[in-house]
């Protein structure tokens, strides 16, 4: 497994996503932590949102960059439908892991890593050109940032470490 693939889905610089999400009940993932602007559910939704945009760009689909940061998080209607989340925690995890496997597969396609791709930018900014490798590195850094927030929220909920272990510092 390459280092890039490790950073995306394996045990790279931090606990792997599978460990970070392991053993979390839907109730825990949806619980607000005092002082935090997001729940674990909202953090994973955001990770999955940007992961899909990255996968779109890598596959040549010029998915628009959101006009506002809030578009990258679930809307109130995404969060709740009749008092429940419209996308279950289990389904959200499945969606994340499916996309994560696609990203890891793209990292394994070494012949395509230096291919230039078009990545849309914030409204009013020019389209950016980067390689598949650069976009995957960007995705890995983004995911690491938000998974760090998930770990912190789990710690604050008293739900860390997960059953398979995880760094405790």
The pLDDT averaged over each successive group of 10 residues in the chain (169 residues) is: 89 85 97 96 97 97 91 76 70 98 97 97 92 98 96 96 75
Task: Note the CATH architecture for domain 3-157.
Answer: Up-down Bundle (1.20)
β-pairing, 128-131 vs 116-119, is antiparallel
CB 47 within 8 A of CB 38: no
State the burial class of residue 17 (Cβ atoms within 10 Å of its Cβ: 0-12, 13-18, 19+): buried
Contact 19/147 with Cβ under 8 angstroms? no
Give the whole-angstrom CA distance, residue 144 versus residue 149.
9
């Amino acid at each position: 497994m390459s280092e890039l693939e490790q950073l995306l889905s394996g045990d790279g610089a931090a606990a792997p996503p599978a460990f970070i999400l392991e053993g979390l009940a839907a109730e825990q993932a949806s619980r607000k932590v005092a002082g935090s602007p997001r729940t674990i559910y909202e953090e994973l939704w955001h990770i999955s949102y940007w992961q899909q945009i990255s996968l779109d760009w890598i596959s040549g689909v010029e998915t628009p960059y959101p006009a506002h940061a809030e578009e990258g998080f679930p809307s109130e209607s995404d969060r709740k439908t009749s008092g429940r989340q419209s996308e279950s925690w289990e389904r959200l995890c499945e969606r994340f892991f499916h996309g994560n496997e696609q990203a890891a597969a793209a990292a394994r396609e070494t012949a395509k890593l230096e291919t230039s791709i078009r990545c849309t930018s914030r409204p009013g900014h020019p389209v950016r050109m980067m390689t598949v490798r650069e976009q995957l590195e960007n995705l890995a850094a983004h995911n690491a940032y938000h998974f760090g927030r998930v770990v912190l929220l789990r710690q604050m909920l008293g739900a860390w470490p997960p059953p398979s272990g995880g760094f405790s510092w």
